[in-house]
Amino acid sequence: RDEGCDVVWIKANTKLCPKCQNPIEKNGGCMHMTCRKPGGCGHEFCWICMKSWRDHRQCNAVEEDATGKAATKHELLRYAHYFERYLAHHKAEQFASKGLRQASEAVAELFTKSLGVTVSDVAFMGNACNQIRNSRRFLKWTYAHGYFMKCDDAKKRLFEFHQAQLEGTLERLSDIMENTPWGSYMGDEVISFQPFYDLRTRVISLTSVVCDFFSKLQEAMQQENFAGA
């Protein structure tokens, strides 16, 4: 195998842990990353901005303070800011459309067979996957919109506020759907199904909130609240 191709693949698909510099591959859609042990240090961080996940709030906004000779460099950084987030959501959308959906369908089937729950009891998984996929698709285009958007600072901040609300809640939902050890909710050692139904309620609630934030941002953009100063 060509070592040069290996290097190119590593650069394109991995980042270094900001704490221990261990290379980490992103193999899911969620932006919440963990430097897994063994080999890693256990540090949790945001895949996009690389800041600690514990203190992470949002990283969708870009500073617009370039002046003089720094303007050209700033414009390149500004483009990189929006493009990186567009690309991250595009890849996450692809994962939600195939990998996450297939995994969720397999888990749902296991639940109906091993726990005897009804199809309607596990329908929340498919609904969550659909909402994640649709939200990823929408969010990636909001970054294209944000790059070309020309409006006053107040409208820009309002747009970024709505965008951050959708993005932040979506990451919470994606984190649960991708990283929950679903196998721990089934098996002979399970003495109560209540934890499963508690998680189900949480996912349904988060899916509803994501849908609500999606609709609010979509409605505002359709009304052209952010189109022009």
- Record the tokens describing residue 200, joined without a space: 């189900």
d(CA 17, CA 34): 9
d(CA 46, CA 56): 7
- Indicate if 5 belongs to the active site: no
CA-angle at 74, arms to 16 and 144, nearest 5°: 80
Among residues 161, 143, 140, 159, the alpha carbon closest in space to that of 151 is found at: 159
Amino acid code (one letter) for 208: S
Amino acid code (one letter) for 151: C
| DSSP class of 52 | B
d(CA 120, CA 110): 14
Among residues 133, 137, 134, the alpha carbon closest in space to that of 99 is found at: 133
Among residues 107, 103, 104, the alpha carbon closest in space to that of 115 is found at: 107
d(CA 207, CA 135): 10
* Active-site position among 30, 35, 46, 129: 30
Among residues 204, 162, 169, the alpha carbon closest in space to that of 30 is found at: 169
Q: Which helix (H) or strand (E) holds 72?
A: helix 70-95
Active-site annotation, residues:
30
